[in-house]
Amino acid sequence: MIVINKNEGLKVAYKLSGTKITFGEDELTLNISRYQRDWPVLIDICSNKDNMLVIGAGAGLHYVAQIEIPAMEYTVPVTEEQTPEPKPIDMSMVTLTLWSLVNPVPVTTI
């Protein structure tokens, strides 16, 4: 996965496991392969007024991350009778852009 840090500062924690990206402490998990289409797809991750992660810029106040998923690729049919099959998503072609957290939630330990 390609990671771009858009600006300086504390970023949201994330982890990649196969085709899944998890943000925060298991706050939000997306299976990227489920969002891939025949065209490039952008998914905006924002924080809302309660500092919760949400999908979509309309639901949030501040950008946290953006995921750019490339268009689906297909195998070339061997014969005219065969139809092209979608190839598995190549996560090395997915771009994750991270913005600094505006109001990071303090982490406390007990």
Q: Is residue 78 part of a domain?
A: no
- Measured CA to CA, the distance from residue 20 to residue 47 in angstroms comes to 20
| Residue 76 pLDDT exceeds 90 | no
Dist CA 18 CA 57 (whole Å): 26
Contact 91, 78 (CB under 8 A): no
Residue 32 lies in a domain: yes
56 belongs to a structural domain = yes
| More reliable by pLDDT, 80 or 22 | 22
Q: Residue 79: inside a domain, yes or no?
A: no
Q: Tell me: the pLDDT tens digits for 49-58?
A: 888 899 988 7
Q: Work out whether strand 20-23 and strand 95-98 pair parallel, antiparallel, or are unpaired.
A: unpaired
In a domain, 61, yes or no: yes
Separation of alpha carbons 77 and 59, rounded Å = 42
What's the domain range around 33?
2-73+88-98
Is residue 59 included in any domain, yes or no?
yes
Please give the tally of structural domains in the chain: 1
pLDDT top residue among 73 and 109: 73
Distance CA 104, CA 100 (A): 9
pLDDT level of residue 104 (50, 70, 90 thresholds): low
pLDDT tier at 77 (50, 70, 90 boundaries)?
A: confident
**What whole-number distance in Å separates Cα of residue 103 and Cα of residue 53?**
12
Q: At residue 62, does pLDDT exceed 70?
A: yes
Residue 52 covered by a domain:
yes
Kindly report, residue by residue over 33-48, the tens digit of the pLDDT.
999 999 999 999 999 8
Tell me the residue type at 102. Answer: V
7 within some domain: yes
The mean pLDDT value for 4-14 works out to: 94
For the record, the structure tokens of 8 come out as 């300086």
End-to-end CA distance of the chain: 35
